[in-house]
């Protein structure tokens, strides 16, 4: 288990960059945590680490999926919070993306049964003082 105690944006950035080191084609990262626990900010740092030339990385809250692509890779940043059912998972093409891209999935609980066994779970826990724990199943 890997654990980061984050007191600042810099700490969150360091954690995101650490996990970005594991990113490769077909790797899925599952971000689990309450609203406001830092999942989207973490994702932005993660994507920026892999694609430093991307100027703006937006939240997929309303679009459900944001994609980023360069000469080396394609990243899908997904927010399942608004999915009504698991059928939408297939309609969006997420099953294909998971096989061929790097995928970062916020709120993965609704589609958990369709996710790969080797997915890296990253749990976020916010504290009342503004700090947060980021804990993963990576050793």
pLDDT digits (tens, 9 = 90+) for 28-50: 999 999 988 999 999 999 999 99
Output the pTM of the full model: 0.92
For residues 91 and 94, give the distance between their C-alpha atoms in angstroms, rounded to a whole number.
8
Domain ranges of the chain: 2-136
Quick check: helix, strand or coil at residue 108? Answer: helix
Domain 2-136 class? alpha beta
pLDDT of 69-80, one tens digit each? 998 899 999 998
Element at 44 (helix H, strand E): helix 39-50
Rounded mean pLDDT, 115-138? 93
Strands (E), 51-93: 65-69, 74-79
- What is the pLDDT confidence band of residue 102, given thresholds at 50, 70 and 90? very high
Residues recorded for the chain:
139
The stretch 64-73 carries a mean pLDDT of: 91
């Amino acid at each position: 288990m890997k654990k980061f105690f984050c007191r600042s944006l810099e700490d969150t950035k360091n954690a995101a960059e650490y996990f970005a080191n594991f990113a490769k084609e077909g790797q899925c990262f599952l971000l689990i945590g309450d609203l406001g626990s830092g999942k989207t900010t973490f994702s932005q740092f993660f994507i920026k680490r892999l694609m430093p030339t991307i100027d703006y990385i937006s939240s997929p809250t309303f679009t459900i999926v944001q994609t980023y692509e360069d000469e080396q890779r394609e990243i899908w940043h997904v927010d399942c919070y608004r999915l009504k059912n698991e059928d939408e998972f297939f309609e969006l093409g997420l099953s294909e993306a998971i096989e061929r891209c790097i995928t970062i999935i916020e709120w993965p609980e609704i589609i958990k049964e369709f996710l790969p066994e080797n997915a890296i779970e990253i749990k976020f826990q916010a504290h009342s003082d503004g700090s947060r724990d980021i804990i993963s199943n990576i050793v």
